[in-house]
Amino acid sequence: MENLFEINLSKPEIDAISNLGLAHMGDCVFEILCRAYLCARGEKTVDRLHRDTIAMVKAPAQAQFADRMLPLLTEEERAYYRRGKNAHVHAVPRGATPAEYAKATGVEALFGYLYLSGRKERVNELFQLVMEDSNGL
């Protein structure tokens, strides 16, 4: 049985996944990083953990994350970020502008790509560098 926690798809396999498919995976990866970050900081109550997680994974916060992260990306990583950013979405959630939502989708697509390619260390590195730089989102 394949270990999906240790997945390592090839570039052609990843490129066969739609932009929004990568963002779907990356949404989960980004959220688990936020949850782990908050737990490691000693958040006390489940309600507080939930509220702070929601605040971090909203499109405006992810757009700020993208702005801080972009200078740290390789050219290949920027290409996957752009794939997500340029994805055609049918609706933008309330509380986010189309530009914020596009940036958030770019972050999620990049994180989806990195996770599916087995580059969890790079996902963690980018997340940690941005969080250290911003003292949280």
Residue with tokens 């739609």: 18
Query: What does the alpha-carbon distance between residue 5 and residue 83 come to, in Å, rounded to a whole number?
Result: 24
Q: What is the CA radius of gyration of the chain?
A: 15
**Of 20, 24, 22, residue with least CA distance to 110:** 22
Q: Residue 62 has which token pair?
A: 């992810």
Q: How many CB atoms lie within 10 A of CB 83?
A: 22
Q: How many CB atoms lie within 10 A of CB 5?
A: 6
15, 27, 47, 52: the catalytic one is 27
Residue 3 three-state SS: coil
27 is catalytic: yes
Catalytic residue positions, numbered: 27
